[in-house]
Structure 1
Amino acid sequence: MAAHATAISIVILSGMFHATWNTLTKNSGNKNVFLWYSQVIAIVIFLPWAIIDLQSAVFAWEGVLLLAASAAVHGMYILLLARAYIVGDLSQVYPIMRGTSPLLVPLVAVVILGEPLPIGGWIGIAVIVTGIFMISNGFKLREQGAAAAYAFAVGISITLYTVIDKLALEYVQPALLNIVTNVGNLAVLSLFALRSRGMLHEWRTNKRAIVVAGVLAPSGYLLFLFALNLAPLAILAPMREVGTVFATLFAIVLLKEKQGARRIWSSVIITSGIICLGLFG
């Protein structure tokens, strides 16, 4: 129980980190360039740690395939993320893309990985997903067009890399896995960012935000990867979606996006689901 409580606390902090760097990304000019710089910062900062982790890595062919799959899926994720923020608002796409994973990951974790999930956990997941759909006006998804489509695609990518990374941790430590994902992100973003004419302008305009995002993005995911060693994936993956609440608050206070009472109540529902999942999952 103590290990689960620690894991939940770590994942909530991870969710806040995730919401913060996503807010910075949404507020940037050229999303592809901003995220490209952030990946460079992340690789430079965390590479020494990853090199140390090389000593304990197991490079069996299964592990190598998982690392390659992780890099590819993360690269697809970051590209779709940039596109989602180009065509949609933070408060519109973030809840959708983060809400897809809590619905799919526990199903995958239970069916494929064989992880148990008590009835209280399923109730918590149902409450969280309901709140996320409310906050994104999910019952009228057709009206949200391309933004919703990209957000769902991001959510599917999150589901895929979460499961793949869980398996990859059997072969490598979190810091090394995180660097691999950053390299995948950088490789895919390079195809678009380096061809743009906004490299210098984006750095001059948002260099502080880029550095912050470059630190928070890998730090948040590292926290999540470490938490996976303390509690089951089926519990922790939905818990990480507390970032939806943080992102909603950031959208209201920082980005001045229009919000209503529905979004406030939705945040309360999400928090209730998280508490239910943490206590009974």
Structure 2
Amino acid sequence: MTPAIVLTVLAAALLHAVWNAMIKGSGDKTVMLGLIALGHVVPGVAMAFLFPAPALEAVPYIIASTVIHWGYYYFLSAAYKFGDLSFVYPIARGTTPVMIAMGATIWADEYLSWQAWGGILIVSLGIITLVIKRSGFSGPALLAAVITSFTIAAYSIVDGIGIRLSGSPLGYIAWLFVAEFIVFAFVGLRFGTRMRALTRRIGLIGICGGVLSGAAYGLVLYAKMFAPLGIVSALRETSVVFAALIGVIWLHERPVFRRLFASVIVAFGIIVISL
């Protein structure tokens, strides 16, 4: 894996942590996720006019990913309803690198070296360290976060294969984002009164969060063109460390020492993967 790809995925991780903090810090998380989906649609429409459409072979993957993302938004919203950012986020993201690496071996014929597997496990260990013996444990938040992790692994594998079949990576990303209008439309129709009650400031924050989210996932999908899905996922999930630090600084969540300790473990795992 080249340094450029590593930096690309780490940039995506930071962007992802920021938009998740926006969701956790908002009042109405369900409506905010609808605005996040709209934030994907806006750049997606522009990109659809600029880049060739994906091949027909990739269309089923776009449909499957859209359905899975719907479930992802639902369970992520439920998890944040019951738990802190620094509790939910590590669980939702911490186990996915291993699941994606295993899934990629089965469905994408990707076989990683022992060193790569070691790095993935180290990163996951560092992420899980953030929630060991943590106060504020919530059973409903834990269940929703675990289900969220399965949806993340599912859409990551689907999109990793789909973008490689598309013949137009940027076109694939564009139509994937355009398809999320369905999510926004559902939230708007189902919770229209709550959406209209939002202030202009909160609405803009939600749409901007969606643009950040789209940029983050677009960078990850681009990286999957050049590196194994499991390795990209492991680097991508360093967003957990960024989210933990945001939780400490912005949302005043504690404790601080465990977050720093976990960051060191994750950083070591990144070095192992990069080598």
Q: How does 1:61-210 map to 2 (within 5 A)?
A: 63-137=58-132, 143-169=137-163, 170-171=165-166, 173-188=168-183, 190-196=185-191, 197-210=193-206
Amino acid at match of 2:39: I
Q: How does 1:228-239 map to 2 (within 5 A)?
A: 228-239=224-235
Partner of 1:58: 55
TM-score under structure 2 normalisation? 0.91
Task: Output one character per residue of 1:119-160: Cα deviation in whole Å (capped at 9) or x when no partner.
Answer: 1111111211111111022x7899530101111111100100
* Alpha carbons 1:94, 1:244 under 8 Å: kept: yes
Partner SS state of residue 190, structure 2: coil
Please state if 1:252 is matched with 2:275.
no
Unaligned runs of 5+ in 2: none
Instruction: Give the whole-Å Cα distance in 1 for the aligned partners of 2:88 and 2:59.
Output: 33
Partner SS state of residue 227, structure 2: coil
- Identity of matched residues, %: 30
CA positional deviation for 1:14 = 0.3
Instruction: Give the whole-Å Cα distance in 1 for the aligned partners of 2:262 and 2:220.
Output: 24
Instruction: Give the whole-Å Cα distance in 2 for the aligned partners of 1:153 and 1:142.
Output: 19
Instruction: Give the whole-Å Cα distance in 2 for the aligned partners of 1:87 and 1:194.
Output: 25
Instruction: Describe the shift of the 1:174–1:74 C-alpha distance in structure 2 as closer, same or farther (beyond 3 A).
Output: farther
Q: How many residues align?
A: 273
Instruction: Give the whole-Å Cα distance in 1 for the aligned partners of 2:66 and 2:40.
Output: 15
Mean CA deviation greater in 81-90 or 240-249: 81-90
Unaligned runs of 5+ in 1: none
CA positional deviation for 1:179 = 4.0
Task: Output one character per residue of 1:137-195: Cα deviation in whole Å (capped at 9) or x when no partner.
Answer: 2x789953010111111110010001100111112534443344445544245434533
Instruction: Describe the shift of the 1:89–1:8 C-alpha distance in structure 2 as closer, same or farther (beyond 3 A).
Output: same
- RMSD after superposition: 2.2
CA positional deviation for 1:111 = 3.1
Amino acid at match of 1:95: P
Instruction: Describe the shift of the 1:32–1:184 C-alpha distance in structure 2 as closer, same or farther (beyond 3 A).
Output: farther
CA positional deviation for 1:102 = 0.9
* Alpha carbons 1:135, 1:263 under 8 Å: kept: yes
Instruction: Describe the shift of the 1:207–1:125 C-alpha distance in structure 2 as closer, same or farther (beyond 3 A).
Output: same
Amino acid at match of 1:242: T
Instruction: Give the whole-Å Cα distance in 2 for the aligned partners of 1:192 and 1:210.
Output: 13
Amino acid at match of 1:21: W
Amino acid at match of 1:236: V
Instruction: Give the whole-Å Cα distance in 1 for the aligned partners of 2:129 and 2:62.
Output: 36
* Alpha carbons 1:174, 1:222 under 8 Å: kept: no
Instruction: Give the whole-Å Cα distance in 1 for the aligned partners of 2:94 and 2:122.
Output: 11
* Alpha carbons 2:90, 2:130 under 8 Å: kept: yes
CA positional deviation for 1:6 = 1.5
Instruction: Give the whole-Å Cα distance in 2 for the aligned partners of 1:249 and 1:46.
Output: 30
